Amino acid sequence: MPERDGRTLAAAASSDVPVLIAGGGPVGLTLAISLGQLGVRCEVVDARPAPARVPRAGRCGSRAMEIFRRLGLSARLRAAGLPAEASLDVAICAGSLARPLSRHRYLSVAEILANMLEVNDGTMPLEPPVILSQYTLEPLLREAAEATPGVRVRFGAELFDFAVAGGGVTAMVHTASRMRTVRADYLVGCDGADSTVRRVLGVELRGETREPVRQALIYCPDLYERLPGGAAARSVQYHVTGAHPCTLVVQDDTQHFTLYAAAAGPGGPPLTTLFEAVAGAVCQPLTYKVVHEDLWPQQLLLADRYTDREPGTAGSRVFLAGDAAHPASTAGGLGLSTAVGDAADLAWKLAATLHGWGGPALLGSYEAERRPVAAQAITASFARAVADEPWSVDLRDGELGYRYTGSPVISHAGGASPTGLAATTWPGARLPHLWLDDGNPLHDVLGSGFTLLRIQAAGDQGGAGARGAPTDRAAVGFARELAAEFGRLGAPLDLVEVTSAAAQAVYPGHRLILVRPDLHVAWRSGDSLPSAAAVAALVTGNGGGGRLNGG
């Protein structure tokens, strides 16, 4: 983006903040909470008077919940979601809910959690998903953001325009009473598919747009208890076939439902008529209220770039995240997990840069890491959109199996990267979850900055390393050197010794694993150890990208 003349605006700026966030949806609020917890002041502005009660995302996937756990929010969000023991099955019905044709069985959250407690091979996430409507999620995130020191949330305040000049951003924010100017070091556009930030940057979207779908949020307090089969046989989604096919989805409180149907052609029934036909067959008298009704755009789009500069160019001051960068009609919680992942990635990099230890390559890595993830999610969403049985398309690979293979701040290993959901510490992958011997999850032991894991089996006191890997004594020496280099940069680093037998199985052959604040592996040791200074410089964005000695 060519610099616009912001000198006049800058001279009139009425407030200053390190990070201005446009958009108070899940991604903007998650970013604000993350920044506040990392000691960075920020302000969120959103044109809406308050979070809206409209049908949008209905599920928080496991990766999003792992991120919320890092922020101390997962228990609160899970308590607000669909009860863990509720069925997550999908039913196919003919004409109405009274005529079930088939039922596709899926594990409930309680069953997933029970499996997670038993399996300790790195293949399971730390957090199971939760059915949580976005209109429930947003007020909870807003409450958490407003309670976070250094975070200011302003609804009813619309980002109107901005200019990049003088080593920062000057934005015009319109409220009901006045137009104010805000001077910020950085601006992040989390303002959705119709993003003002993206429009001002002149960034194009590319991809596919399909016919919109009609949707309604309906309050019907008696329907859930009257679904066919009772607690043992009810489902969370009902796909109704017939002359006017539609889909009915149970929301988190079991008293609200979303109804989806194709755009009405000539003579097509309104959604209220469809709902009465579908639900009235099992629930009489049918008492309901339409809370919201609109069209849901069906789009699978990706922004050409995520910043105000061309890819690979340092010095960006404006960033796009969430639907502003990749508006995609994704089911199964993949869109929300991708958006929340954007916030987790960008937050620590902004904080590192503002605190002075993040080098010029760090913020530049945001697009290099997150844009391919969004492209992968869009590909998976397209596969689901065109499938005859969309509920059968597994989206877990796009949610948990991605790796930052092209990042300039990851020490890339040689050879071919593992694919899919394999438990791996391959640099760029999310650190596999495992339970420690004391029953605590390893993820919970990691600090809010970088963490160097020293994997040591019980009784290993300096013998030869596995497969020619460094001895334990060499690993201890390198850890001390790395801590000194991080200290010289002013970057946070925790050292954690892991003696768990499970770690030996899940993280084989690597005595040292360096984990970033967002739980992704930045480097791991191999047959020999590189310069500690080179590792520290690379992963903090202060050195050249590439492969260091490692595996």
Structural element, H or E, at residue 351: helix 334-355
pLDDT > 90: percent of the chain: 72
Measured distance CA(384)–CA(391) in Å, rounded: 7
Model confidence pTM above 0.85? yes
- What pLDDT, in 10s, does the model give residues 192-224? 999 999 999 999 999 998 889 999 999 999 999
Pairing of strands 179-189, 168-174: antiparallel
pLDDT-derived band at 463 (thresholds 50, 70, 90) equals: very low
Instruction: Give the strand order in the sheet containing 90-94.
Output: 100-104, 90-94, 237-241, 246-250, 256-262, 205-219, 289-303
pLDDT score at 547: 60
Residue 246 has pLDDT above 60, yes or no: yes
pLDDT score at 466: 46
Q: What is the mean pLDDT of residues 58-84?
A: 96
Measured distance CA(488)–CA(210) in Å, rounded: 53
* Range picked from 19-23, 242-246, 328-332 for highest mean pLDDT: 19-23
Structural element, H or E, at residue 495: strand 493-498
pLDDT-derived band at 468 (thresholds 50, 70, 90) equals: very low
Evaluate whether 7-82+129-206+299-398 and 403-539 have a shared fold. no
pLDDT score at 330: 67
Measured distance CA(54)–CA(33) in Å, rounded: 23
Q: Which residue, among 148, 150, 159, 166, has the nearest Cα to 182 in the 3D structure?
A: 159
Q: What is the mean pLDDT of residues 156-161?
A: 96
pLDDT-derived band at 467 (thresholds 50, 70, 90) equals: very low
Measured distance CA(528)–CA(471) in Å, rounded: 10
pLDDT-derived band at 52 (thresholds 50, 70, 90) equals: confident
Measured distance CA(247)–CA(127) in Å, rounded: 28
Higher pLDDT, 271 or 468: 271
Pick one of 1.10.150.120, 2.40.110.10, 3.40.30.120, 3.90.190.20 as the CATH number of 403-539.
3.40.30.120
Residue 465 CA neighbour count, 13 Å, CB half:
22
pLDDT > 70: percent of the chain: 91
pLDDT score at 543: 84
Tokens coding 436: 């420690």
Residues 6+ apart with CB under 8 A from 280: 96, 286
pLDDT score at 55: 84
pLDDT score at 393: 67
DSSP single-letter state for residue 239: E
Tokens coding 340: 């929340």
Measured distance CA(261)–CA(216) in Å, rounded: 9
Q: What is the mean pLDDT of residues 320-326?
A: 97
Q: Which residue, among 347, 316, 326, has the nearest Cα to 148 in the 3D structure?
A: 347
pLDDT-derived band at 102 (thresholds 50, 70, 90) equals: very high
Higher pLDDT, 312 or 468: 312
pLDDT score at 361: 95
pLDDT score at 462: 46
pLDDT score at 372: 95
Lowest mean pLDDT among 93-107, 135-149, 204-218, 500-514: 500-514
Residue 248 has pLDDT above 50, yes or no: yes
CATH 3.50.50.60 fits 7-82+129-206+299-398, yes or no: yes
pLDDT score at 379: 84
φ, ψ dihedrals at 285, nearest 5°: -70, 145
Measured distance CA(25)–CA(322) in Å, rounded: 9
Q: Is residue 40 a contact partner of residue 354, using CB atoms and an 8 Å limit?
A: yes
Helices (H), 4-108: 7-11, 26-37, 62-70, 74-80
pLDDT score at 472: 79
Residues 6+ apart with CB under 8 A from 526: 413, 469, 509, 510, 549, 550, 551
Residue 276 has pLDDT above 80, yes or no: yes
Q: CA dist 87 to 130, 169, 235, 278, 330, Å?
A: 12, 48, 6, 20, 22
Pairing of strands 318-320, 493-498: unpaired
Domain boundaries, the chain: 7-82+129-206+299-398, 403-539
* Range picked from 110-124, 379-393, 479-493 for highest mean pLDDT: 479-493
3-state helix, strand, coil in the chain (%, to 5): 30, 25, 45
Q: What is the mean pLDDT of residues 26-32?
A: 98
Lowest mean pLDDT among 238-247, 381-390, 525-534: 381-390
Residue 207, strand partner residues: 301
pLDDT score at 508: 84
Residue 376 has pLDDT above 50, yes or no: yes
Helices (H), 387-457: 396-400, 442-445
Q: Is residue 286 a contact partner of residue 194, using CB atoms and an 8 Å limit?
A: no
Q: Count CB atoms within 10 A of the CB of residue 393.
A: 16
Q: Is the dihedral of CA 388, 392, 397, 399 positive or negative?
A: positive
- What pLDDT, in 10s, does the model give residues 340-355? 999 999 999 999 999 9
pLDDT-derived band at 459 (thresholds 50, 70, 90) equals: low
pLDDT score at 399: 81
